[in-house]
Structure 1
Amino acid sequence: MQETFEFGLKTKIICGEGTYLQLGQLIKESTASTKTVIVTDKGVIEAGLVNLVEKVLHESNIEYTVFSDLESDPSVRSIDAAARVIQDFDADCVIGIGGGSAMDVAKMASLVAVGGASASHYELMANPFPKKTITSIMIPTTSGSGAEVTSTVVFTNAEKRKVWGWDEQMAPDVAILDPLFTEGLPRHLTAATALDALVHAIEACTGTRSNPIVEAFGLKSIELICGNVERVLHNPRDLEGRTALAVGAALAGVAIENGGTGIAHCMGHAITTVGRVPHARAVAMAMNATYRWKVEGDVDLFAKVAKAMGVHTEGLSKSEIAYAGADRFKELVHSSGLNTSLKEDGLSINDVDLLVETMTSEENQPMRENNCRFVSEEDLRSFARELLSS
């Protein structure tokens, strides 16, 4: 834990059923021309969620256009295409509606659109972003990525590598957490994205960049997610449970914004780069493979994490409680129905060297180094063998 630190939250959070109805007022308060681009994906459109937003914009006399040419993981191509739409429409507001991919594209495109360069110009902070002039509002349709409150975007570059862009002004101006927008999320996606948020919270509050505020946000996030995910999986229309998951995911987003992520994300990004595995599934698998290793680095802190996860502590030592957290995480992965084998993704034990090489790349260094214990190359090789052998 850092002895000196800063903590910031740059995004206004509006939470509750029907809060999306405030969109018109929010846009008029923050922009001059009220011309808006909605960035979303085809699945969100088919679910009818974009129609809800369009109705509010129409009734508020706000001009808008929709960009939905997105891949499942953000890419330079998608970000550049969205930026061109924002430029051509002369928009001064961007609304991201969807999971992490849609929101990440919306966030980064709103900055890229101000300059004349491609998104690739800014990867790994090679060059500074132009000054922000476009308001960004996010409405998550999953409770997972936390992208609605973070200033980092992870995307695939032209070489198919998973890289990132960062700028504090990339943090959205407003995040609307409305359970009506997650109510129809399929069971498997509800489970996978909740696990993603849970990994965020655990890694943020147990990494070397953690501090008492990050820990507080992370532990509360863990409590909300673990206390409500199975409830929502049992009853998908439980809006109270959906709201709790949305808040938990946002808290986890705030935690990683200030505390970063660790080895599970280093491995998860490598798995996605090598095998094109969806992010949420990749990081959940990676956390499952590394959890007990992590516990050895700080038993006291992982005992706190386990208690937030709701494990039974009566009669157990602090060490037993901490390791019970690993068992609880494995239980959640099992109950979610997550596929924990990479064989169908075309990966095998023969890919150990490639996976280790990707984990040790420049773009994965910050996550590789932000853990409560040192990660050796032999550790990485051991993790890779475990993942690829299942």
Structure 2
Amino acid sequence: MNGFEFQAKTKVAFGIGRSNQIADDVKALSRTYKVVLVTDPGLVQLGVPEPILRALHDGGIEAHLFSDVQSDPSSTSIDQAAAMIRESGADCVIGLGGGSAMDVAKMAALVAGDVHPAEHYALMAHSFQPKQVKSIMIPTTSGTGAEVTSTVVFSTTEKRKVWGWDADMGPDLAVLDPTLTALLPPHLTAATGLDAIVHAIEAVAGKRSNAMIRALSLEAIRLLGQSLLIAVKEPANLQARGDLSLGAMLAGMAIEQGGTGIAHCIGHALGTLGRVHHGRAVAIALYDTYDWNIEANVPAHADIARALGVIDQGQDDLALAGAGAARFRQLVEASGLQLSLAGEGLSAADADRFAEIMQAEENAPMRNNNCRASSASELQQFAHHILSR
């Protein structure tokens, strides 16, 4: 049994309508009572930020809105958000949205404390200055777990997906309000929910797993597995939405400590290759690598199967793990997620480039943390299989 350390930085507040208390949350963290609210144009169009901005205003908080965030966040957006933080004198930033908005907010909070642009810190080529701006995350999806992690993913001006991380990047507060996720359409509910399930599966099966990660991951899988299809079919079901919110947060805590694996290596490569939505990309990747992974950690995959709802009828762990793989694929298919990437203009002709990106420096941490080591030829096989549908 390997020793480990575990520390959760982010305070979590959960409840129906909990986001209405945001002004009090800011007052508990801010000295200036000035904030920048980072969100995306789609949520602005739906009116989602309005009640948050109104609650801030009514509570005596000066709020500035930054909404230039795309689904694949860029270093440019981070730099622009950081500039708004500096210019407004804000000492608190709120990320409202999915992983993209939260990643921009998290990194902008640190970039704002110095003069360098976001790309200065890509793959941690340089260290951040100590954090001067507090951060609050309010997720409107149940997927990335970015509300409790100290990492971000963004694209450089050359369209290369890279990482940034720092212990201070972990948000000070995560506000989970299931009512804010009820507007998410079924296809995004499916993609983000599957992303969270993949997080939990890869964390518990990965090389850095421990007792705490197992506890977080298996409960996340249970909550997500039982609620995903209900939320897809009944978008306003707040019980299912709440379970998804909690499951995604727990999975986020799990990957914060345990990391991810081959599905995220492949998924990030797909994001670079064809701008495929992250949740869909990692779900497709695990769909095609789940069985291959099992033999490297059969006991963990048997536990995953139980958490996914597979009935243990006395079969051995290998059979149980295989049933878990089938259950995961069933969830993917029943959710309506599109497995073919032909619509993105991708085909087997792109396989060599796809496999090359999987082996890039920025994808090495995920690839190396996977429970089973992958050879260049195996990555090539995965690439051909995924792009041949």
1:350 positional shift: 1.3
Q: TM-score, normalised on structure 1?
A: 0.98
Partner of 1:189: 188
The answer for unaligned runs of 5 or more in structure 2 is none
Q: 2: CA distance between counterparts of 1:71 and 1:372?
A: 32
1:212-249 Cα distance to aligned partner (Å, 9 max, x none) = 11111011100000011112222211111111110000
Q: Equivalent residue for 2:145?
A: 146
Deviation at 1:54, TM superposition (A): 1.0
- Aligned partner of 2:127 in structure 1 is 128
Show the counterpart of 1:363.
362
- 1:19 and 2:18 are equivalent in the alignment: yes
SS in 2 for 1:164: strand
Q: Encode CA deviations 1:141-166: one digit per residue, 9 max, x unaligned.
A: 00000000000001111221110000
| Residue 229 of structure 2 corresponds to residue 230 of structure 1 | yes
Equivalences for residues 225-264 of structure 1 within 5 A: 225-264=224-263
Partner of 1:299: 298
Q: Distance in 1 between matches of 2:188 and 2:358?
A: 26
Matched, 1:388 2:387: yes
Q: d(CA) in 2 for partners of 1:255 and 1:71?
A: 26
**Map of 1:49-68 to 2, 5 A cutoff?**
49-68=48-67
Aligned residues: 389
User: Hey, what does 1:173 align to over in structure 2?
Assistant: 172
Q: Deviations over 1:325-369 (max 9, x none)?
A: 111111111111111111111111111111111111110100011
Kindly state the Cα deviation for residue 296 of structure 1 after the two structures are TM-superposed: 1.2
- What CA distance in whole angstroms lies between the structure 2 residues aligned with 1:158 and 1:237? 39
Q: Deviations over 1:267-318 (max 9, x none)?
A: 0000110111111111000010100011111111100000000012225332
* Other-structure match for 1:311: 310
Distance 1:75 1:46 in 2: 21
**Greater shift in the superposed pair: 276-285 or 2-11:** 2-11
Amino acid at match of 2:266: M
Q: Name the amino acid aligned to 1:148.
A: E
What amino acid does structure 1 have at the position aligned with 2:363?
N
The residue type paired with residue 236 of structure 2 is R
Provide, for residues 95-118 of structure 1, a one-character-per-residue CA deviation record: whole Å limited to 9, x for no partner: 110000000000000110111000
Structure 1 position 70, deviation (Å): 1.1
The code of the aligned residue for 1:215 comes to: R
SS in 2 for 1:65: strand
Offset of residue 323 of structure 1: 0.6
Query: Unpaired segments of 5 or more residues in structure 1?
Result: none
Residue type at the aligned position of 1:161? R
Q: Does 1:69 align with 2:68?
A: yes
Q: Which range moved further: 347-356 or 34-43?
A: 347-356
Match of 2:347 in 1: 348
State the 1:52 CA deviation: 1.1
- Which range moved further: 53-62 or 96-105? 53-62
| Match in the other structure for 2:79 | 80
Structure 1 CA distance for aligned equivalents of residues 109 and 387 of structure 2 = 38
2:373 aligns to what? 374
**What secondary structure sits across from 2:337 in the alignment?**
coil
| CA–CA separation in structure 2 for the residues paired with 1:279 and 1:130 | 29
Rounded Cα–Cα distance in structure 1 between residues aligned with 2:248 and 2:107: 20
One-letter identity of the residue aligned with 2:274: G
Distance 2:264 2:209 in 1: 16
| In 2, Cα distance between equivalents of 1:198 and 1:175 | 19
Q: After the TM superposition, which of the residue ranges 311-320 and 93-102 deviates more from structure 2?
A: 311-320
Aligned to 1:212: 211
Q: Distance in 1 between matches of 2:373 and 2:320?
A: 23
1:8 match: secondary structure: coil
Partner of 1:163: 162
CA distance in 2, matches of 1:52, 1:254: 28
Q: Give the share of equivalent positions with the same residue, in percent.
A: 52
Letter in 1 for 2:111: V
Q: Is the deviation greater in 156-165 or in 256-265?
A: 156-165
Aligned equivalents of 1:188, 1:54: Cα separation in 2: 28
Alignment of structure 1 residues 38-53 onto 2, 5 Å: 38-53=37-52
* Secondary structure of the structure 1 residue equivalent to 2:141: coil
Rounded Cα–Cα distance in structure 2 between residues aligned with 1:374 and 1:135: 39
